[in-house]
Amino acid sequence: MTEKIIKVFEKVLSYNGDTKKAGDMLYNILIKKTELRSRKSQFISNLRGIIYGTYIAFIAILFIIAQILYLLNQMFQGVLQHLVLQ
């Protein structure tokens, strides 16, 4: 990235351009690039939190369903045994 900035300044100097304007433009580009990197980092962090949260919720729901099925199985086995004994 530093090489690109240096090349831009070299071109500006070779064409006798305004180095102040070129510097301001490059500064604005660097600020935007830094902001985009920061946003990307925040997005990835948020996405990671959403994925982990969803995964934990999904596992919890599966556990609850398994417990309900286990209880229903136990209940129906008890009813079946009671009917068989009579």
Are the CB atoms for 12 and 22 separated by under 8 Å?
yes
- At residue 86 the predicted structure's pLDDT band, cuts being 50, 70 and 90, is low
**How confident is the model at residue 1, as a pLDDT?**
65
Residue 35 pLDDT greater than 90, yes or no: yes
- Measured distance CA(16)–CA(21) in Å, rounded: 12
Average pLDDT over residues 11-34: 81
Average pLDDT over residues 32-36: 91
Q: 19-85 and 2-14 are packed helices; what angle lies between their axes, rounded to 10 degrees?
A: 150
- Measured distance CA(26)–CA(8) in Å, rounded: 9
Beta-sheet strands, E only, within 1-86: none
- At residue 68 the predicted structure's pLDDT band, cuts being 50, 70 and 90, is very high
